[in-house]
Structure formats: structure tokens, C-alpha cells
Amino acid sequence: MDKLSKLKTILKKMDSVLVAYSGGADSTFLLKSALDTLGGKVLAVTAASATYPRSELILARETARKLGARHKIIKTDEFKDKRFIANSLTRCYYCKNELFGKLKKIAARHKIRFVVDASNLSDKNDFRPGTQARMESGVRSPLEEVGFTKEDIRRESKKLGLSTWDKPAQACLASRVPYGTRLLPHTLTRISRAEDILRGFGFKQSRLRHYNGLCRIEVIKSDIPELIRKRRFVVGRLKKLGYSYITVDLEGYRTGSMNPVLPKRKVRYPLRKNGVNEVIK
């Protein structure tokens, strides 16, 4: 049995699912597979917050509509948690804990049996404290269970005719800020606007890493010469956002580029009834 058939078998056994839907390639593929398998027993839910670019929210809503999915947009309140704002190594844990907690309540209200997210096998290659929150919340990850990688998802999405098959990877805007630097909504809004500017100049896959008055731009290595050619225009736009120094990362775009500075030690999570949960990094 191929991976797609196995995925549909798992979804069929679940009977009804709430899909944590971001509008990206992974969650769109999962939503489409769930709709094809379960029809009306699927609800897609997207979280709106300062950590999520508004442009992505609009795209998620439009893509869900085109798929014919029931779609709900909710507001999450991670900025009410001082531990999230502190931006420690476990920041992602608190953010996901807030999200999954709300999704579980919505699923219960709608009598939906499972909450699922689009985590996949490729995600295991990165540092993701949110995985701990997912496990504690009982959220299932069917793509990971079946063994789907990012490459598998893009290939199957293209076969299905999904417009998201080659959509650039997105990540929480908080991931652009160094660990230990306090997170504020207006900082993430500033980053989002800066990345919109980069996309406007034609850099489809890009990141802007924020260091207060300095920013570090990541684009695909082959796009670096083009970025240098357009530097005068890029610098002018970004300085208007308040960046005094604009730098280019010569290593190019890569996920988790803030993580090499992670200390080689145990990362501890909040105390649970069954003791301390911890992962080794």
C-alpha cells in the first residue's frame, strides 16, 4: 500500500477530524486528503495572531474556500503568556500549547473525534519544542505516522493539482527573533512588512532575521547576486521600517538558522503530573 492510501486509511479510521490549517503546502495537502476521505466530517481551523502574517491568513481562507472545506478562523492569545514573550528555548512549546488547547475545545464542541496537524517526517530534522505540546495534547500527525516527507507532500500535491504544491515554506514570525530577545507584537508586524517587501522585489523564498536596528536577509543562494543588484532599493525600503543596518547572509536561506546558537544541554518543559518532561538537544 502506498503512503497516500495508508494516509486515507488512517483518516477513515479517525471518522472525523479538525485540521490545524495554516494554508501552507503541508496542511493543504492534509486538508485535501481528509476532505477526499471524510467529506463533511472535516473542519479546518486557522489561528490568527501577530505571529502569523495577514497575507498568509488571507491565502489560507481563499485556499480552504476553493477546496470546499468548512473553515473557521480563531484568535490565539500567546502574548498573554509571559513565558512566550520571554522568547526562551521553549517559546514554541507555549505557543503550540495555546493553539492546541483551543483546537481541542472546538473539536469537543463540534463532536469531532480527533485534532490533527501537518507535522511530517522532515520536521524531525529541526529543533521543534512544539512537538512536546502536541504530544501532551493528544494531537495526531497522520503525515508523520505514514512517513510522508516534505518532498513526498510536494510531489503528491502537484499530482492533485493543489496550488500550494510549490508554496515556499513558512514559519512563525517569532522564529526571526534571537532567543532571549523579548517578543512584542509590533516587532513581528515590522518583520512581516519587511518580508512582504522582499517578496515584492521577487525573492519568493526569503527570511528577515531581526536584531533590533539591524536585520539579516536570507534568500536562496542563487538569488544573492540579484539581491545585491537591487540593494539600493531594498535598503531604502527597509530603512523606512527602522532598520539602520541591512546585512545579507552569504550562506543563503535555510530553515532554523537561529538554532546553531542553541546550547548543548537539556531543554526542560513545565512540570506535569507525571514529572518533568524533557528533550535532549
**pLDDT tens digits, one per residue of 95-148:** 999 999 999 999 999 999 999 999 999 988 777 888 899 999 999 999 999 999
What is the model's pLDDT at position 270? Answer: 67
pLDDT of residue 261: 60
Instruction: Answer yes or no: CATH 3.40.50.10540 is held by domain 3-159.
Output: no
Tell me the pTM.
0.88
CATH topology of domain 173-254: Alpha-Beta Plaits (3.30.70)
Secondary structure, 3-state, the chain: CCHHHHHHHHHHHHCCEEEECCCCHHHHHHHHHHHHHHHHHEEEEEEECCCCCHHHHHHHHHHHHHHCCEEEEEECCHHHCHHHHCCCCCHHHHHHHHHHHHHHHHHHHCCCCEEECCCCHHHHHCCCCHHHHHHHHCCECHHHHHCCCHHHHHHHHHHCCCCCCCCCCCCCHHHHCCCCCCCCHHHHHHHHHHHHHHHHCCCCCEEEEEECCEEEEEECHHHHHHHHHCHHHHHHHHHHCCCCEEEECCCCCCCCCCHHHCCCCEEEEEEECCEEEEEEC
Distances (CA, A) of 280 to 54, 60, 122, 192, 267: 34, 34, 18, 32, 6
Question: Which residue would you say has higher pLDDT here, 4 or 257?
Answer: 4
Angle at which helix 91-109 crosses helix 130-137, to 10 degrees, equals: 30
% of the chain surpassing 90 pLDDT = 84
Give CA torsion, residues 172, 177, 181, 187, to 10 deg: -80
Domain residue spans in the chain?
3-159, 173-254
